[in-house]
Amino acid sequence: MNRTRARSRAVKRVLVWVILFAMPVRSSLARHTTRSASSGQLGENAQVRAALAWFAPNVNWINEQQVRLTEIPAPAFQEGQRAAAVKTLLSGVGLNVQNDSTGNVIGELRGVNEKEIVVLSAHLDTVFPAGTDVKVRREGSRMLAPGISDNGTGLAALAAIARAIHEAQIKPQRTILFVADVGEEGEGNLRGMRALVDAYRSRLKAVVVLDGAGTDHVTTIALASRRLEVIISGPGGHSWSDFGMPNPINALVRGSVRFINTKVPASPRTTFNLGQIEGGTSINSIPYEARLKVDVRSESESELTRLESALRECMSAGVRDEMESSRDRSRGKLEWKVELLGSRPGGELAAESPLLAALRAADVIVENESRIERSSTDANIPLSLGIDAISIGAGGNGGGAHSLQEWYDPTGREMGLKRALLTLLGIADAPEKTR
Ligand SMILES: [Zn+2]
């Protein structure tokens, strides 16, 4: 991306202004946008410059915090110990820090206007179960450990940005909440973000989510998903003497074969995955239970509903087929149900939103390019409620997320930190004049 940087930077500056002039100037939001997105002003503010300059000489401190936090296990529903460490970090930079009842850590930097809030968040939890070895190893510039990047990077950035703003003595217009939240991964079902948005909803103007490494994308479209579990149960019996009784695994297989033949559209992109299947107790027993976990995702909420209905119809038919083909229906029948394990609602940030303008303006200053991405993140919750939100990486490079080989390379992470800080201050409306 270095090759035509100067030229592309100039092009981008022109684009920013074209976008700004093309916007309606009707509402107070538009006024705010114009101010947020005037990247020159923000980047030239002396206090903001001081905050930006804090990162480079303190990269070692940031890396150390990342290692320390990553080495505190934080499986879903067991984030408490890591939360306590983040609380100490945020308290150390002058924030008023609280825990809410779900376990979120919330550090408040009071703005001039306390009635308007912007959130910078990073999730605390990992996908790794208790007992996973989370000791960080180093290989050259790389750090390796489960969770080092997702979301060690986001948490370290949260602490670093809070500290940079503190050191530069910035008092924003809007109140900023620095939040380390619980329950982002898997069956946490975004419970931390749900509680946060619920608590601050009327005052919440924007949410910036830091998740993982990189600076290449900005997630503005929330991918809707549902997680479902099919449970089929029956009387069970002996494989030889009770042969012919209805078998829950047979019914599940019959239903599953029907379901996987369901047609899904390429656009809006819609997917399903039969991810976990279990049931039965031994090879020579007719099982009394069979279970299947299914993940369905779509760019369209209505496709999601259609697919969930298809799953129910297919399982109902699978059970019926099994009952009809069983020789001995007198000794019990099959019961079935589909339970919703989790649901992530969809939503989309408006192209002309002040938050996206702030991100674009930050990109201009740090000479970065972001592609718009659609994904399932903490930003789903505010986006689904019409609250502006984005999810971005917090800089550096990472890979192998959700695997034991996960790694993070902090080389060049300052750019991601600056981008996040400028976006946050852009939307929080940092003071325009040096005080
Ligand atoms: Zn994550």
Q: What is the pLDDT of residues 72-104, one digit of tens each?
A: 999 999 999 999 999 999 999 999 999 999 999
319's CB contacts (< 8 A; 6+ apart) are 232, 251, 254, 255, 334, 336
Cα 268 to ligand 1 centre (Å): 24
Cα 185 to ligand 1 centre (Å): 7
Cα 66 to ligand 1 centre (Å): 14
Neighbouring CB atoms inside 10 A of 312's CB total 16
Give the whole-angstrom CA distance, residue 19 versus residue 6.
20
198's CB contacts (< 8 A; 6+ apart) are none
Predicted local distance difference test score (pLDDT) of residue 299: 86
Cα 211 to ligand 1 centre (Å): 5
Cα 161 to ligand 1 centre (Å): 18
Residue type, 117: I
Residue type, 327: R
Cα 155 to ligand 1 centre (Å): 10
Give the whole-angstrom CA distance, residue 296 versus residue 178.
32
Cα 430 to ligand 1 centre (Å): 28
Exposed, middle or buried: residue 178 (CB in 10 Å: 0-12, 13-18, 19+)? Answer: buried
Q: Write out the E strands in 37-156.
A: 96-99, 105-109, 113-123, 137-139, 142-144
> Tokens in use for 295?
């993940």
Cα 222 to ligand 1 centre (Å): 14
Cα 85 to ligand 1 centre (Å): 18
Are the C-beta atoms of residues 113 and 91 closer than 8 Å to each other? no
Cα 67 to ligand 1 centre (Å): 16
Predicted local distance difference test score (pLDDT) of residue 430: 59
> Tokens in use for 170?
């910035």
Cα 359 to ligand 1 centre (Å): 20
Contacts 24+ apart (CB under 8 A), 54-60: 54/163, 54/164, 54/167, 54/168, 55/160, 55/164, 55/414, 55/417, 55/418, 56/414, 58/160, 58/163, 59/410, 59/413, 59/414
Cα 429 to ligand 1 centre (Å): 27
Cα separations in angstroms, 240 against 243, 327, 374: 5, 13, 52
Cα 78 to ligand 1 centre (Å): 16
Predicted local distance difference test score (pLDDT) of residue 108: 98
pLDDT tens-digit profile, the chain (435 residues): 333 344 455 445 544 444 444 433 333 333 343 444 455 678 788 999 999 999 999 999 999 999 999 999 999 999 999 999 999 999 999 999 999 999 999 999 999 999 999 999 999 999 999 999 999 999 999 999 999 999 999 999 999 999 999 999 999 999 999 999 999 997 789 999 999 999 999 999 999 999 999 999 999 999 999 999 999 999 999 999 999 999 999 999 999 999 999 999 999 999 999 999 999 999 999 999 999 999 999 988 899 999 999 999 999 999 999 999 988 777 789 999 999 999 999 999 999 999 999 999 999 999 999 999 999 899 999 999 999 999 999 999 999 999 999 999 999 999 999 999 999 999 998 554 433
Cα 178 to ligand 1 centre (Å): 17
44-67, pLDDT tens digit by residue? 889 999 999 999 999 999 999 999
Measured in degrees and rounded to the nearest 5, phi and psi for residue 316 equal: -60, -45
Lookup result for tokens 């950035």: 157
Virtual torsion, Cα 279, 281, 282, 287, nearest 10 deg = -60
Residue type, 71: E
Predicted local distance difference test score (pLDDT) of residue 431: 55
